[in-house]
Amino acid sequence: MALLPLLVPVGCAAGAIPGGSGSGGGDTVSASASTGADNAGGGGGTPFDPAGSGGGSTSGTGGGVAAAYAHTNTTLFAFDPASPALVTTKLGAFACIGKTGEDGSMTDLAVNDQGDLWGISSKNVYHLVPSGGVVQCDKTIPLTNPATVKFYGLTFAPVGVIDAAKEVLVAGNTDGELWSIDENGALALHGNLGKVPTNDGQGHTYASKNQGQRWELSGDIVFLTNGGKGIGFATVRDCPKPPSTQGCNTTDTLLEIDVAKLGSATTQSVAKAVRGQIVARSGCANPSAGPFGSMYGIAAWDSKVFGFSHSGAIVEIDNVTGGACLVKSGMDLWDGAGVTTVAPVIAPPPPK
């Protein structure tokens, strides 16, 4: 998800949506700011039902729980989060992006517990099926979005959070709001990312003009079931006049999300803890790399959050402190990432 200046079974994330419940992570492409809290209550209806769209398989088409993805604005890649090298494998271009009458960018991905892959753009959500070097959009659902909220992050809320029986798609916008999406494309507000504190708890103070302002979603959100104790993370940025992207901190912050609060929240904060700014931590092979920003895509695995930056960097972020090491850099400008809701996660300790 970019805002300022993944189908091969591997790792953790995506697929087609046949009959399951699950979550994933999303991210953004740089884009115009969303409208803000005035958009609250933009929809409702039955929460998104993965089992209602797709081919009806019980195992999914994305490799089950062993699939993880990242993408540029037009192209999908798979990667293995258990591999230290984090090699990315190109799966193909999105068939529904970039042509006349289509949106120009896929802004994020989400993957359910069956490994089914979904994407979002400014106007639609898509069920995605990689096949033969192309990523087919075999189902397109227009967003019922009169408030023109622009989404840059996508994930699945685990079963029991918003709906007792199924996983529900949740999208995040620049203004730090989280919205559920039902099978008709209708939206409902489920909280925001809270406000910028004085410091990140790791020795980094935020600019005084940004303190007390709403966090903006710099990049992405990812939720995990964590054995029934849902956990979530987001990459955010602090700005003086959100949702404006002017004058924002170019270093992202890792935020922990209280996933359980999504079930009842509307205009309240669902933030649980500020884990820390995403700066280089001690012991990195390249300690001069960092700090890191524009983390438009994130995927969680064990005690790590992998960040995919629109600058081309892939970083490994500690989910306790936000400290990060550069894994690799390249020419691909990442716009999103996704991992299945049932990916393994080691939850950080409770906030102090």
pLDDT, tens digit, for every residue of 9-47? 222 222 222 223 333 333 332 222 222 222 222 223 333
**What count of other Cβ atoms lies within 10 Å of the Cβ of residue 150?**
23
As given in the structure block, the two tokens for residue 234 are: 């987001």
Report yes or no: 126 and 171 within 8 Å, Cβ to Cβ: no
Can you give the pLDDT at residue 146? 67
pLDDT tens, 273-312? 999 999 999 888 887 788 999 999 999 999 999 999 999 9
Residue 205's SS3 state is: strand
Q: What is the pLDDT of residue 352?
A: 75
Predicted confidence at residue 47, as pLDDT, reads 33
Name the fold adopted by 37-79+91-339.
Answer: Neuraminidase (2.120.10)
Q: What is the structure's pLDDT at 351?
A: 80
> Which H helix or E strand runs over 327?
strand 324-329
Instruction: Return d(Cα 140, Cα 53) in angstroms, integer.
Output: 10
Q: Which residues pair with 106 in a beta bridge?
A: none
* DSSP string across 66-127: S-EEEE-SSEEEEE-TTSTT--EEEEEEETTSSSTTS-S---EEEE-TT--EEEE-SSEEEE
- Splitting the chain (352 residues) into consecutive groups of 10 residues, what average pLDDT does each group show? 32 29 32 28 31 31 59 95 89 94 94 94 94 95 82 96 96 94 94 98 97 96 95 98 94 98 95 97 84 96 96 96 94 95 94 78
pLDDT given at position 289? 85
The residues near 164 (Cβ < 8 Å, ≥ 6 apart) are: none
Q: What's the confidence (pLDDT) of residue 64?
A: 37
What is the pLDDT, as a whole number, of residue 8? 28
Note the pLDDT of residue 259: 97
> How far apart are alpha carbons 279 and 293 in whole angstroms?
9
